[in-house]
A and B are shown apart, each in its own frame.
Chain A
Amino acid sequence: MIGEDDVRYVAKLARLHLEQDEMRRMTGELAKILAHIDKMSELDTAAVPPTAHVLDVVDVTRADRVEPGLPRAEALRNAPAVTDDSFRVPRMS
């Protein structure tokens, strides 16, 4: 059963900041949802192949030809912070 520690770990993995009350509520909600989802474990699926793609399509590739991309101004236009024509992020230290 999923507990607050699990929720904290998962929130960290997902880079999601949750307030204390959010954390608590989330734990309850996730527990309930996961309990329902657990219905699946009733089934013996060992011999069933997984469906990763509903399409019966394979081998779709493209030729190695350059296509016009974005002018730099367009690439940067939505950037929250720009320095030296690059996307700036806060310190990683």
Chain B
Amino acid sequence: MSAAAILQGKSGAWEPVIGLEVHVELDTATKMFCGCAVTKGDAPNMHTCPVCLAHPGALPVVNRRAVEYATRIALALNCTVRPRNVFHRKNYFYPDLPKAYQISQFDEPLALDGWFEYWSGGEKLRCRVNRVHMEEDAAKLVHAGGEAGRIAGSEYSVVDFNRGGTPLIEIVSEPDILSPAAARDFLQQLRDLVIELGVSECTMEEGQVRWDANISVRPAGSAGLGTRTELKNMNSFRYLQQALESELPRQVDVLEAGGMIDQETLHFDPTTGTTTPLRSKEEAHDYRYFPEPDLVPLVMDPAWVEEVRAGLPELPGARIARLSEQYGLSRADAVVLGGAGVLARFYEEVVARGVDAKLAANWTMGEYLAHLNAAGLEPGHGHVTAERLAALVRLVAEGTVSTSAAKDVFAKMIAERAEPAAIVETHGLGQISDGAKLEAVVADVVAGNPAQVEQYRGGKPQVIGFLVGQVMTATGGRANPKLVNELLRKTLDG
């Protein structure tokens, strides 16, 4: 663990210490403890039953697929899946919690002691995972009459139980994250991983991924843990970064002034970009955990766990190593291409069409990624299919079109939704490799630039670059640069 972001205070250097508790809603067909459909965006209270409405006499029954999905996550995070796990009741009153307890896991959770490797600031970092456990999501609570839907100043609130009971996986990290950037990268890459596991689409807007951040600071280079504050229920990477950039200096200021950090929950206000303590009427929650008597323990058959492990998709670490080796890519390139499965798949499809791996890598990481970014597309979507990119790369490799012209072809291909070869044809972007034609242009350029010719012959070989440029200009950038170089040298030297 390195790359702590140093906070320069008045009296010395400090480093942030951040831990994250991430909640992921699973994309199972039904809820964690009942057969109601898990849905998004439907009208309120269309998917409820006596169980998820906590009617008297109703009882929970565990969703097997949710256990499988949770196990996938635990294994992908290198956790030890415990041989037996148990559900507990976490007791508190809130309108979005119909039983007034959440069925969750406490001291006998699904999995413990894993880690997650992620990249931040060009470095590979490792964050230990304390635990992965299963629980149920709360219902949707909306406050009416206050400002921006907040509780403060609200007149009443309403509850929609559609979401209540959705399977929720909690991933708790150790406080190993040492900068706001690392926190953001950790979350983004963790999200990518979960999506790849096929257990959740992790849509941010729907709040399918949310996290709490535990934030403290300590003198740079020291080991202990200071008092932490908590940011709860965030679902925006940008807001997290802003919140951290507000809270961390605040803590440094307090400590340097000789004060103490109060262990409190913070609210982040996006309009001011700052965090303020939540003035809550509650004292620290006394959750009164006890084992859920309505459910029996889950025994995790090792053979079944291995089946789940075998069924996991290739994980980022392994994939990066494989790409590097299989395609002779540099570590850095392999990281860019292999970090996310969707991009890696795209890249490999391009190469599979018989194109040079390194050339394909450059084009994928360069023009293609830039295009995805600009167009807001996911890899594999849009007009630039693996087939088309491969075709373009092949044209470059064959010398049919120069590299610079090919970039033009790429842009036009998208704009006109046409094939690369057709674009080259239509726009006459083909590289001129006709020796006779080029000889004529070369002769013209040599004739028209006696001073540079003189310099070249006088012992400045780099001047050839200017002359090559003149040929390129004369040919509208289409001359085959290698051939131009050869011809020029022949003319000048010969």
Contact = CB atoms under 8 A, between A and B. Distances in A.
Interface of A: 13, 15, 52-53, 55, 57-67, 69-70, 72, 75-76, 83-93
A83 B160 CA distance: 10
Nearest to B143: A92
Interface string B157-201: 111110000000000000000000000000000000000000000
B235 interface: no
Q: Which 7 A-B pairs have the closest CB atoms?
A: A67-B35, A64-B65, A86-B158, A69-B49, A61-B64, A52-B291, A61-B62
A15 B297 CA distance: 30
Contacts of B67: 61
B86 interface: yes
Given A70-B49, A93-B152, A62 B159 contact: no
Nearest to A69: B49
Given A84-B44, A93-B153, A62 B299 contact: no
A66 B37 contact: yes
A83 B53 CA distance: 17
A52 B145 CA distance: 45
B158 A88 contact: yes
Given A52-B293, A86-B45, A92-B151, A65 B61 contact: no
B375 to A, nearest CB: 36
Nearest to A13: B286
B249 interface: no
Contact of A89 (B47, B152, B157, B291): B157
Nearest to A62: B61
B373 interface: no
B95 interface: yes
A63 B64 contact: yes
Contacts of B37: 66, 69
Nearest to B292: A52
B34 to A, nearest CB: 8
Nearest to A15: B93
A72 B42 CA distance: 12
A69 B297 contact: no
A57 B84 CA distance: 13
Contacts of B293: 52-53
B61 A85 contact: no
A88 B30 contact: no
B63 interface: yes
20 contacts: A52-B291, A53-B296, A59-B296, A59-B298, A61-B298, A65-B35, A66-B36, A67-B34, A69-B36, A69-B47, A72-B48, A83-B144, A86-B159, A90-B156, A91-B154, A91-B155, A91-B156, A92-B143, A93-B143, A93-B153
Contacts of A75: 45, 48, 53, 161
Given A15-B93, A59-B299, A75-B48, A67 B156 contact: no
Given A61-B67, A64-B64, A67-B35, 16 more contacts: A15-B93, A52-B86, A58-B84, A63-B64, A64-B29, A64-B30, A64-B65, A67-B34, A69-B34, A70-B48, A70-B50, A75-B48, A84-B158, A85-B160, A87-B158, A90-B156
Given A60-B62, A62-B35, A66-B37, A88 B297 contact: no
B28 A92 contact: no
Contacts of A58: 84, 296-299
A66 B37 CA distance: 6
Interface residues of B, number: 52
Contacts of A88: 156-159
A87 B61 contact: no
A66 B158 contact: no
A52 to B, nearest CB: 4
Nearest to B155: A91
B46 interface: yes
B285 to A, nearest CB: 9
A69 B158 CA distance: 21
B215 interface: no
- Most chain A beta-carbon neighbours within 10 Å: one of B93, B145, B154, B296: B296
B97 to A, nearest CB: 12
B365 interface: no
A90 B159 CA distance: 11
B155 A92 contact: no
A86 B142 contact: yes
B154 A92 contact: yes
Interface string B297-329: 111000000000000000000000000000000
Given A52-B293, A69-B36, A93 B151 contact: yes
B63 A62 contact: yes
B423 interface: no
B62 A62 contact: yes
Contacts of B63: 61-62, 64
Interface string B18-58: 00000000001110001111000001111111100100000
Contacts of B154: 91-93
Nearest to B52: A69
Given A55-B296, A93-B146, A64 B44 contact: no
B45 A76 contact: yes
Contacts of A89: 95, 156-159
B296 A66 contact: no
B296 A60 contact: yes
Contacts of A13: 286, 288
